[in-house]
Structure 1
Amino acid sequence: MKLIIFDVDGTLLDSQHAIVAAMAEAYTQHGLPAPSREAVRAIVGLSVAEAVAELSAEAADHPQAEIGEAFKLSFMQSRARSPDGMALYPGALQIIERLAARGDVTLGLATGNSRRGVAHFIERFGLENHFVTRQTADDAPSKPHPGMILQAAAEAGVRPEEAAMVGDTTFDMAMARAAGARAIGVAWGYHPRDRLMAAGAETIIEGFADLPAALGLPEKAMAS
Structure 2
Amino acid sequence: MMIKNIIFDFDGTLVDTAPVILATMFATFKELDLPAPSREECKSTIGLRLHEIPSKLFPNRAGLGEIYTKTYQRLFKTYNTPGAIIAFEGVPETLTELKDSGYNLAIASSRHRFSLEEIVNSLKMSTLFDMIIGGDNVKNGKPSPEPVLTISNLMGWQAN
> Residue 116 of structure 1 corresponds to which residue in structure 2?
114
Contact 1:50/1:142, CA 8 A, preserved across alignment: no
Contact 1:5/1:109, CA 8 A, preserved across alignment: yes
Q: Do structure 1's residue 125 and structure 2's residue 91 form an aligned pair?
A: no
> Residue 9 of structure 1 corresponds to which residue in structure 2?
11
**Aligned mates of 1:145, 1:67 — CA distance in 2:** 22
> Residue 67 of structure 1 corresponds to which residue in structure 2?
68
Contact 1:26/1:68, CA 8 A, preserved across alignment: no
1:18-47 alpha-carbon deviations (Å, 9 max, x no partner): 111111111111111122110111011111
> Residue 48 of structure 2 corresponds to which residue in structure 1?
46
**Aligned mates of 2:94, 2:41 — CA distance in 1:** 30
Amino acid at match of 1:118: L
CA RMSD of aligned residues (A): 1.4
Identity rate, percent: 25
Query: How many Å apart are 1:129 and its aligned residue?
Result: 1.5
**Aligned mates of 1:147, 1:39 — CA distance in 2:** 25
Contiguous gaps of at least 5 residues in structure 1:
162-224
Query: How many Å apart are 1:156 and its aligned residue?
Result: 2.1
SS in structure 2 opposite 1:154?
A: helix
Q: Do structure 1's residue 20 and structure 2's residue 18 form an aligned pair?
A: no
Question: TM-score normalized by structure 1?
Answer: 0.67
Amino acid at match of 1:70: T
Amino acid at match of 2:145: P
Query: How many Å apart are 1:83 and its aligned residue?
Result: 1.1
> Residue 77 of structure 2 corresponds to which residue in structure 1?
76
Amino acid at match of 2:48: L
**Aligned mates of 1:65, 1:142 — CA distance in 2:** 16
Segments ≥4 residues shifted beyond 4 Å: none
> Residue 104 of structure 2 corresponds to which residue in structure 1?
106
**Aligned mates of 1:128, 1:85 — CA distance in 2:** 18
**Aligned mates of 1:52, 1:130 — CA distance in 2:** 34
**Aligned mates of 1:53, 1:65 — CA distance in 2:** 11
**Aligned mates of 2:19, 2:29 — CA distance in 1:** 16
| Counterparts of residues 130-141 of structure 1 (less than 5 Å) | 130-140=128-138, 141=140
SS in structure 2 opposite 1:120?
A: helix
Equivalenced residue count is: 157
Query: How many Å apart are 1:61 and its aligned residue?
Result: 5.0
> Residue 146 of structure 1 corresponds to which residue in structure 2?
145
Contact 2:55/2:62, CA 8 A, preserved across alignment: no
